[in-house]
Structure 1
């Protein structure tokens, strides 16, 4: 049970968020969003149990994962996934949402500080520089901003948004330098590039959440940059697909759902023009991506390939 599997929860919860936004933007059935969130909650609970069993029954595997230059950053997804589940609970169980968020936020913050402190000490193989570096600080901060704002504390969300956006800009320069000047990525690492899609649209959702949802040029710019990333990913799809059908492809899911959520939220608030044209297309795309990833995962489970061996 690698920590990267928590990325499945990010994709499912992200789709639930997209459907909530779509129900307000286009009057789609709101119950669909709640069922998706419920499914995400079940998957989250199962993965938490599996990871806790791993910690108890195979602690050396957990230590090895924490020391791995790439896999270590995925551990932060446990906290991010927990906060997203709290976001799903907000309209129904406020107290439970606050408790779950507090646990997820504490884990995310502690891990982000610990992992970032380790990275700043250097001695890192340049080949291990991948988009997973976004996860501890960028993903954690943006999701914190989204959920804490939903809980009614947008001022705290603004602090988290600041931490996320400046971390994103700093890490992005490092990653682009690696992509442009370093050797080509090995096939098993290529799905991690899907994380590259997430910061701009997730940041857009966070910006909408902390700012009260007023459409402006900055949120449009974030969505525009996300669309550019999406087109580049489409250009690289054949190259990335050489990794095969692997759970790591869920790395694309959170960005794909966020790039549908942000326009839908803006449309619900009266935005029009380009966003109104692109919104439905991006929403359909997000649903197709999650359906395809879910079918792939069920195939891997039924064929015994989901937990067959530890990833290198």
Structure 2
């Protein structure tokens, strides 16, 4: 069992966030968002118990957090509760703040540790992949949006800088790797979808920071997000070659965040008929994530979801991962 299984709860959080944003922007019903947040919390907790049991039984906790392939995904263990804390804050502010701030501290601690580890580790360029954006870039930008939602304006700006500068540094390395190094192993190719996450997550956070207005920063982030979205179209034939598994959930949060940004723009522009457009966007996104969830359940039932299902440890190198089914 590998830590990218937490991508499932992360993806459901992305869908829930889209519904929550739509409720705030256009007044669509709130109950779908609440239902999805509860589902995301349940999936995260079940996955945490499943993963912790598996890892502790195999005695490979240290191996997972130092693994050049899977280590960045362990950050989702603390990033997902940040999103859950934001949602909880809409119903019980004090409880939501406690969950959010605790997860934020853990996210910053994890991101700092991973950054230091990557500095001293003997990593080769070919070992990098877009999942390395998760601990500090995704974590920092999500923390920025959550801080703004709770009214911590200065903290929100600090975390936006934390995430944005991390994106500038790590994003440059990863793009150089994608452009110049050999192609990612088949099982890691869905992580290229994560390249779309930074501009759209930053855009959503910026709308919370500036009060939902379109300004130069929002427009610039939208422009880069459009480029990343169009690149995804070119990559569809590549994605279709990847065997189904936990890696497919890499698509979910990134694409959900893009839909959320579109909802924010429709609201900020006061687009005529925006409720109808938002409803269409939510319907498409919900159907896609539901289809992904149904296929996941089917593969779990057939015991064909996890790679190396008969192994007590995950593949530890990019080469090993390339050989996994």
TM-score higher than 0.5 here?
Answer: yes
Once residues 96 and 126 of structure 1 are traced to their aligned partners in structure 2, the CA distance between those partners, rounded to angstroms, is 42
Once residues 54 and 83 of structure 1 are traced to their aligned partners in structure 2, the CA distance between those partners, rounded to angstroms, is 24
2:201 aligned residue: 202
8 Å contact kept, 1:54–1:62: no
2:7 aligned residue: 7
8 Å contact kept, 1:21–1:265: yes
Residues 9-38 of structure 1 show CA distances to partners (whole Å, capped at 9, x for unaligned) of 121111111111222334322111111111
2:230 aligned residue: 231
8 Å contact kept, 1:138–1:199: yes
TM-score, length-scaled by structure 2? 0.88
Residues 162-181 of structure 1 show CA distances to partners (whole Å, capped at 9, x for unaligned) of 11111112212111111111
Does 2:36 align with 1:22? no
Once residues 300 and 212 of structure 1 are traced to their aligned partners in structure 2, the CA distance between those partners, rounded to angstroms, is 43
Query: How far off its partner does 1:281 sit?
Result: 6.0
- Name the SS for the 2:241 alignment partner: helix
RMSD: 2.2
Unaligned runs of 5+ in 2: 316-325
8 Å contact kept, 1:13–1:88: no
8 Å contact kept, 2:22–2:278: no
TM-score, length-scaled by structure 1? 0.91
Once residues 94 and 80 of structure 1 are traced to their aligned partners in structure 2, the CA distance between those partners, rounded to angstroms, is 19
Paired residues in the alignment total 310
Unaligned runs of 5+ in 1: none
Once residues 298 and 234 of structure 1 are traced to their aligned partners in structure 2, the CA distance between those partners, rounded to angstroms, is 27
Does 2:259 align with 1:260? yes
Residues 37-81 of structure 1 show CA distances to partners (whole Å, capped at 9, x for unaligned) of 1111111111222233245433x2222212210101111111111
Once residues 188 and 246 of structure 1 are traced to their aligned partners in structure 2, the CA distance between those partners, rounded to angstroms, is 8
8 Å contact kept, 2:140–2:160: yes
Query: How far off its partner does 1:285 sit?
Result: 4.0
Superposition map of 1:128-139 within 5 A: 128-139=127-138
Residues 235-284 of structure 1 show CA distances to partners (whole Å, capped at 9, x for unaligned) of 112212222111111111111111111232343345449x9998666544
Q: In the superposition, relative to structure 1, how do residues 227 and 283 fare at CA in structure 2: closer, same or farther (>3 Å)? A: farther
8 Å contact kept, 1:131–1:175: yes
Superposition map of 1:1-312 within 5 A: 1-58=1-58, 60-272=59-271, 282-307=281-306, 308-309=309-310, 311-312=314-315
Higher RCO, 1 vs 2 (CA within 8 Å, ≥6 residues apart): 2
8 Å contact kept, 1:155–1:210: no
Once residues 303 and 292 of structure 1 are traced to their aligned partners in structure 2, the CA distance between those partners, rounded to angstroms, is 17
Residues 100-155 of structure 1 show CA distances to partners (whole Å, capped at 9, x for unaligned) of 11331122111111110111225212211100110111011011111122222122
Once residues 201 and 9 of structure 2 are traced to their aligned partners in structure 1, the CA distance between those partners, rounded to angstroms, is 15
- Name the SS for the 1:198 alignment partner: helix
Query: How far off its partner does 1:287 sit?
Result: 2.4
Q: In the superposition, relative to structure 1, how do residues 158 and 75 fare at CA in structure 2: closer, same or farther (>3 Å)? A: same
Once residues 56 and 177 of structure 1 are traced to their aligned partners in structure 2, the CA distance between those partners, rounded to angstroms, is 36
Once residues 286 and 219 of structure 2 are traced to their aligned partners in structure 1, the CA distance between those partners, rounded to angstroms, is 22
